[in-house]
Amino acid sequence: MSVTDTDLPSDWPCEWSEGTIPFVFDFFSVNPKRLRSLVRKGHEFLQKRSCLTFIEHNPVLMAQQLNTTYLYYTYSGVLESCCLHYYFKPVGRRMILITPTCTLPPEVAHVTLHGMGLDHRKREPFQESRVRAALFPTYCSNIEGKVENFGKL
């Protein structure tokens, strides 16, 4: 499998190239326990198919970090598509909105990929080379099995 830095999203943070993605939860959102459960299942889905590791951090401490990019999960009870791209700046907090229509692990994984900078045209899948670059930014143990699981998406 060969991926290049040109396959990564243009706003891919250098610190994510080791495969560790920091994230926080919005504990002031509606139903934080449900939010945690949905996100954890989405992360597990991605981790089984990639060399990524998602590491939870304290939201207050992360907000104080300068030049650190992290995923910020929040929940909305409003019925909206979960295929939305919410962040507007390449560095800092990247909001990922989990909605009632975004509850299955593949759906949470999909919206997480949007938060990581991947995009696609409406009603089309992500570009495979970009997904591979994002999911395999570094070598990891059992990479062959993970690539095989990735192929089963």
Q: Is the dihedral of CA 139, 18, 98, 81 positive or negative?
A: negative
Percentage of the chain beyond pLDDT 90 is 46
**Any idea where the domains of the chain sit in the sequence?**
14-146
- When pLDDT is cut at 50, 70 and 90, the band that residue 84 belongs to is low
Q: How many residues does the chain have?
A: 153
Looking at residue 106, its pLDDT comes to 93
pLDDT tens, residue by residue, 3-27? 456 788 888 898 999 999 999 999 8
Give whole-number Cα distances, 67 to 1, 15, 24, 140, in Å. 31, 10, 16, 26
- Report the pLDDT averaged over residues 24-32: 84
| Residue 132 φ then ψ, to 5° | -60, -45
pLDDT of residue 30: 73
The pLDDT, as a whole number, for residue 153 is 55
Q: What is the pLDDT of residues 121-140, one digit of tens each?
A: 887 888 888 899 999 988 88
Higher pLDDT pick, 149 / 2: 149
Distances from the Cα of 9 to the Cαs of 38, 59, 73, 147, in angstroms?
25, 25, 20, 20
Is it the case that residue 82 has pLDDT exceeding 80? Answer: no
Q: Which CATH number applies to 14-146?
A: 3.40.390
